Amino acid sequence: MKGFQECIQIYRKAFFESDSVSVPRIEELVRRDQGKLFSFSRGEEVFGFALVYIFRTASFAWLDYFAIHESVRGQGLGTDLLKRILLWLKESSPTVQVLLFEVGDDENEIGTFGKGWLRRVRFYSRVGARILEGVPYLFPGYGEKGPIPMALLAFPLQSQTTLQKGFVERAITEIYNTVHLRKSDDSVLNSFLNRIPAEIKLSALTP
Ligand SMILES: CC(C)(COP(=O)(O)OP(=O)(O)OC[C@H]1O[C@@H](n2cnc3c(N)ncnc32)[C@H](O)[C@@H]1OP(=O)(O)O)[C@@H](O)C(=O)NCCC(=O)NCCS
């Protein structure tokens, strides 16, 4: 797959291990066409990438591991790539209602929703992302670290202002099953699913 190794290099540098799906698993998801890898390149050089999964039967897509090479951050490339992904999704998958994703903290700020988290949420908000209010989402965690609290965000693709509990429950369960290879009776998953509100507001970030 052209550019795959370059994307993986950026991935390895940008994310710490307990937050990361294994590279063979990413390779498998992309090979089986469950995941689509977007790369941002000029000539032969890859500057950034994003991995997007589309769950057509459940009408949502999942944005995973989005990163721009540290040498060219802050120049608008991330915003550009994000806009391209949203346009592509709207055109290629009109039944998809939202592009969901999780935002965690920097390594030294786990569980605090600190400065790094706020900076990333601001970045996504500028392109139209909304926070799923009241969803106590947990990333399952890899390696020795246990589950990690993260915020769940969405790009509403059909101008929705709310989502229903059933929709969000199904989407999260699908992510746990397909991306993290966790079963539906997983204890981490079930520790927060029943605490999701019946109607979830998609809120803009207040400064
Ligand atoms: C988040 C990221 C993809 C943005 O790409 P980019 O090309 O730098 O973004 P743009 O130039 O379009 O926009 C700049 C904004 O990106 C965000 N950003 C830039 N560098 C960042 C960094 N090191 N960490 C967190 N956010 C960053 C900020 O919101 C910045 O705006 P600000 O300078 O006013 O705070 C990029 O910083 C990155 O790869 N970070 C590390 C990996 C990561 O955190 N991925 C997101 C996981 S949810």
User: What residues does each domain of the chain span?
Assistant: 4-203
| Ligand 1 geometric centre to CA of 162 (Å) | 27
The proportion of the chain whose per-residue pLDDT surpasses 70, expressed as a percent, equals: 93
Which pLDDT does position 155 carry in this prediction? 98
The reported pLDDT for the residue numbered 106 is 79
Cα separation, 207 vs 199, whole angstroms: 24
Helix (H, G, I), strand (E, B) or coil at 39: strand
State how far the Cα of 191 lies from the Cα of 193, in Å rounded to an integer. Answer: 6
Binned at pLDDT 50, 70 and 90, residue 73 comes out as very high
* Ligand 1 atom index nearest CA of 68: 39
Mean predicted confidence (pLDDT) in 108-124: 84
**Which residue among 73, 77, 99, 100 has the greatest number of ligand 1 atoms within 8 angstroms of its CB, and so is best to mutate?**
73
Q: Which of 105-114, 117-126, 157-166, 194-203 is predicted least confidently?
A: 105-114
| Per-residue tokens: 200 | 């979830």
Q: Say if ligand 1 is within 6 A of residue 122 CB.
A: yes
Summarised one tens digit per residue, pLDDT across range 122-136 is: 999 999 999 999 999
Entry pTM: 0.91
Verify whether ligand 1 is closer than 6 Å to residue 115 (CB atom). no
Q: Which CATH number fits domain 4-203: 1.10.10.370, 3.40.630.30, 3.40.50.620, 3.10.20.600?
A: 3.40.630.30
Average pLDDT over residues 118-124: 93
Regarding the beta carbon of 68 and ligand 1, being less than 6 Å apart is answered yes
- The H helix count followed by the E strand count for the chain is 6, 10
Average pLDDT of the chain to the nearest whole number? 89
Ligand 1 closest atom vs CA 104:
48
The predicted pLDDT at position 15 comes to 76
| pLDDT given for residue 43 in this prediction | 82
Q: Which residues have a Cβ under 8 Å from the Cβ of 156 and sit 6 or more positions away?
A: 97, 98, 128, 130, 202
Tell me the per-residue pLDDT of 17-58, one tens digit each, with 9 for 90 and over. Answer: 666 777 888 888 888 777 888 888 888 888 888 999 999 888
Q: How confident is the model at residue 111 (pLDDT cuts 50, 70, 90)?
A: low
Which pLDDT value is given to residue 205?
A: 82
pLDDT of residue 110: 63
- Going by pLDDT thresholds of 50, 70 and 90, the confidence category of residue 83 is very high
Q: What's the rounded Cα separation, in Å, for the pair 41 and 67?
A: 13
Averaged over 58-86, what is the pLDDT? 92
End-to-end CA distance of the chain: 41
Q: What is the pLDDT of residue 6?
A: 85
Better pLDDT: 23 or 76: 76
